Structure 1
Amino acid sequence: MDWDLIFTVTNIYALAMWVILLLAPRTGTVMTGLFYGGVALLAASYAALMVLLIGGIVDSGTGAAMDFSSLAGVQQTLSSPGGATIGWIHYLSFDLFVGIWVARNADKYGFARWLQIPILLFVLMLGPLGLILYLLLRFTRHSKVADAVIPE
């Protein structure tokens, strides 16, 4: 299996979805397209590749079986071309999901797009750090901590 090609294609595809999220109008059609055409497609790619690897239909690039039961096993799995590619697709899918949630929620609470863009870039590049930054920003619109941090 050409893991480099899969990595490149999914990376470029996810980046295109992020550009749309950052710059396009957030109409229902655009957001639905991002969710199903972006998150769901990346998640389905991840799932299909994971099934192929676990089933032994394709090789991860090391010839060893995937092992998530120990730190050494996870390190070995992620150090293989297949494991790293699938792990990266996992990140791409989840980070885009969180980015869509942040964007929709920020729109709901009336945060300007110019303020959302840097936070969304943090979500893209550093995942949880971007989410924490958004939750801190959202806290400025609420008087109770629970209202600021519980996702809606």
Structure 2
Amino acid sequence: MSATLFGLTFALAAPFWALMILAPRWSWTARIVGSPLIVAPVLLVYAVLVLPALGAVLPVVTAPTLDGLRELLGTADGAAAAWAHMIGFDLFVGRWIWQDARDRGVPAAVLAPVLVLTVLLGPLGLAVHLGLRARWRASVGVVAPAAPVA
């Protein structure tokens, strides 16, 4: 079952990545990706993998050791659960990047490679976005800092 869930995990997330990367300004993308619930299917896969193994997972995450984590991830269920964990969080972060870039008016040609980097190597994509975002000022909800009082 873990192999099936492993394969299903990215398939559940891929349509949302495709919308954000290939059609970032389409009105349906905003409607669909606007909801944080886009990660729910992947989180359900994660729950199906982790909850039955909670007795083995909790000791590893509450008192982590490299050997304990390596042993857990060395199983098919552990690897599939870790994959679902990564895909779910990367999608959530990618969604935030997409929204933040949209609010700031970041060009799609700049946003697309950042999102591709995020889907492939999540933290690096986030780091690049955080480095680039200062170049574009948010157009919605930005409050200018108060002038210093003399």
TM bucket (normalised to shorter chain) is 0.7 to 0.9
SS at match of 1:46: helix
**2:102 is the counterpart of 1:103:** no
**2:71 is the counterpart of 1:76:** yes
- Measured after TM superposition, the shift of residue 138 of structure 1 is 0.8
CA deviation map 1:92-129 (0-9, x unaligned): 00000000100110010011111100000111111111
**2:131 is the counterpart of 1:136:** yes
- Measured after TM superposition, the shift of residue 137 of structure 1 is 0.6
Q: Would you say the 8 A contact 2:17–2:91 is kept in 1?
A: yes
Q: Partners in 1 of 2:4 and 2:43 — Cα distance?
A: 17
- Measured after TM superposition, the shift of residue 26 of structure 1 is 4.9
Q: Would you say the 8 A contact 2:16–2:33 is kept in 1?
A: no
SS at match of 1:103: helix
Q: Partners in 2 of 1:5 and 1:41 — Cα distance?
A: 14
Q: Higher Cα Rg: structure 1 or 2?
A: 2
TM-score (normalizing by structure 1): 0.77
CA deviation map 1:26-48 (0-9, x unaligned): 54422245x31x31221232123
Counterpart of 2:102 in structure 1: which amino acid?
Answer: D
Q: 1:45 maps to what in 2?
A: 45
Equivalent residues, number? 131
Distance verdict in 2 for CA 1:4–1:52, change over 3 Å: same
Gaps of 5+ in 2: 143-150
Runs of 4+ in 1 over 6 A off after TM superposition: none
Alignment of 1:78-93 (within 5 A): 78-93=73-88
Q: RMSD in angstroms over aligned alpha carbons?
A: 1.9
Q: Would you say the 8 A contact 2:2–2:49 is kept in 1?
A: no
TM-score (normalizing by structure 2): 0.78
Q: 2:2 maps to what in 1?
A: 3
Larger RCO (CA within 8 A; separation ≥ 6) = 2
CA deviation map 1:61-107 (0-9, x unaligned): xxxx4441321111000010000000000000000000010011001
Counterpart of 2:12 in structure 1: which amino acid?
Answer: Y
Q: Partners in 1 of 2:41 and 2:11 — Cα distance?
A: 13
Q: Partners in 1 of 2:110 and 2:44 — Cα distance?
A: 32
